[in-house]
């Protein structure tokens, strides 16, 4: 009998390896009364589905495109509240769900594992959704100067207004002259199955020698990372971030240390076989 139901709430979800990763962690502890499943929910059905999700699940992860919408419907912890985006939830009886943001820990943990120190660096961030908010929060904390580029200007303006000292709004044409040391893709452009798409425009040369971090983990080698490497930069996939943020979520739900290596291997195997 399944007592503890977990899931991933988002749309689309066909790319996601969170079920494989979380099931491997639950299996490692022999937690047979826990399950983790996909909760595919388009934006126009989210409000209607929310009461049923609250009553049927113990907790969930939240991904594209719901992290900001959901933040307004839960009781966020101080970090998630500061970021304005939630990716991990614990449902409570007779009270508001508790919302956390483990994307910050995810990015921070993965940068540390790669020995990357972004303190005081100039960093371009592509995208202004939930994941971008987490990245900007971390980079502001690290004393970075940030150029934010997004398709929808209103979303990047909203983030910039929170950190006017650290964040400027930019266009792709501005990047080369600004001489960034790193670029982080926080858009969903290039994510499986649209693996030929790239958030950096074909019409412009990719800045030379930058560290390029792609939050997308499927495929591991995105068009964005290929362009960065062709321009003598270093490319890092979001696979490590996925495992770090998932490990933090696992601990929030189960109160147990996450079996990080087992989770990482499960994701790697799944990517190798897909
Ligand atoms: N590795 C990890 O652990 C990890 C963690 C978090 C997120 N991610 C990945 O990061 C990506 C973003 O996630 P999110 O939660 O921030 O999603 P989100 O809130 O839905 O934001 C999506 C972002 O992508 C942009 N975008 C989407 N389609 C675009 C297009 N055709 N052209 C230009 N921009 C486009 C959006 O721009 P607009 O504002 O103009 O719509 C927005 O900035 C996803 O691929 C997600 O899987 C990975």
The alpha carbon of 9 is separated from its chain's Cα centroid by a whole number of angstroms, namely: 13
Nearest protein Cα to ligand 1, atom 7: 131
* Nearest atom, ligand 1, residue 16 CA: 47
**Token pair belonging to 16:** 């996601």
Q: How high is the pLDDT of residue 1?
A: 52
CA of 32 relative to ligand 1 center, distance in Å:
33
Residue 107 DSSP SS3? helix
Mean pLDDT by 10 residues, the chain (274 residues): 89 96 98 97 98 97 98 98 98 94 98 98 98 98 98 98 98 97 98 97 97 97 98 98 98 98 98 89
CA of 1 relative to ligand 1 center, distance in Å:
36
The alpha carbon of 32 is separated from its chain's Cα centroid by a whole number of angstroms, namely: 28
Nearest protein Cα to ligand 1, atom 27: 188
Residue spans per domain, the chain: 4-101, 104-239
Angle made by CA atoms 166, 211, 160, in degrees to the nearest 5? 20
Q: How high is the pLDDT of residue 3?
A: 84
Sign of the dihedral defined by the CA atoms of residues 84, 157, 197, 185, in that order? negative
CA of 187 relative to ligand 1 center, distance in Å:
3
CATH code of the region 4-101: 3.40.50.10860
Nearest protein Cα to ligand 1, atom 6: 131
CA of 33 relative to ligand 1 center, distance in Å:
33
Q: How high is the pLDDT of residue 16?
A: 95
The reply to whether domains 4-101 and 104-239 share a CATH topology is yes
CATH code of the region 104-239: 3.40.50.720
SS3 for 7-23, per residue? EEEECCCCCCCHHHHHH
Catalytic residues: 67
Convert the pLDDT of each residue in 119-142 to its tens digit.
Answer: 999 999 999 999 999 999 999 999
CA of 185 relative to ligand 1 center, distance in Å:
8
Helix 260-272 × helix 239-254 angle, to 10°: 130
Nearest protein Cα to ligand 1, atom 26: 187
For the beta sheet containing 182-185, the strands, ordered from the edge strand earlier in sequence to the opposite edge, are 167-169, 145-149, 122-126, 182-185, 211-214, 234-237
Probe residue for ligand 1, chosen from 22, 103, 113, 129 as the CB with the greatest number of ligand atoms within 8 Å: 129
- Pocket around ligand 1: residues whose beta carbon is below 6 Å from it? 63-65, 67, 103, 106, 127-132, 150-152, 155, 186-189, 191, 215-217, 238, 241-242, 245
């Amino acid at each position: 009998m399944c007592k503890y139901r977990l899931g991933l709430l988002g749309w689309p979800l066909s790319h996601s390896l969170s079920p494989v990763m979380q099931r491997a962690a639950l299996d490692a502890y022999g937690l047979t009364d826990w399950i983790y499943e996909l909760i595919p929910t388009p934006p126009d059905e989210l409000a209607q589905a929310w009461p049923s999700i609250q009553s049927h699940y113990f907790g969930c992860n939240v991904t594209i495109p719901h992290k900001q919408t959901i933040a307004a419907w839960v009781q966020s912890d101080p970090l998630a509240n500061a970021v304005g985006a939630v990716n991990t939830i614990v449902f409570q009886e007779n009270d508001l769900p508790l919302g956390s943001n483990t994307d910050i820990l995810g990015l921070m943990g993965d940068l540390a594992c790669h020995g990357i120190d972004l303190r005081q660096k100039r960093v371009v961030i592509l995208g202004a959704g939930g994941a971008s908010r987490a990245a900007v929060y971390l980079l502001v904390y690290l004393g970075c100067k940030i150029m934010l580029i997004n398709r929808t200007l209103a979303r990047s303006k909203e983030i910039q207004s929170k950190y006017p000292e650290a964040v400027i709004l930019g266009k792709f044409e501005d990047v080369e002259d600004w001489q960034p040391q790193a670029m982080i893709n926080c858009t969903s452009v290039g994510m499986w199955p649209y693996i030929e798409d790239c958030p950096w425009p074909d019409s412009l040369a990719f800045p030379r020698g930058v560290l390029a971090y792609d939050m997308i983990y499927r495929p591991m080698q995105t068009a964005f990372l290929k362009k960065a490497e062709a321009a003598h930069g270093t490319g890092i996939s979001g696979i490590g971030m996925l495992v770090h943020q998932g490990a933090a979520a696992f601990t929030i739900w189960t109160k147990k240390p996450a079996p990080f290596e087992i989770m990482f291997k499960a994701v790697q195997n799944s990517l190798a076989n897909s």
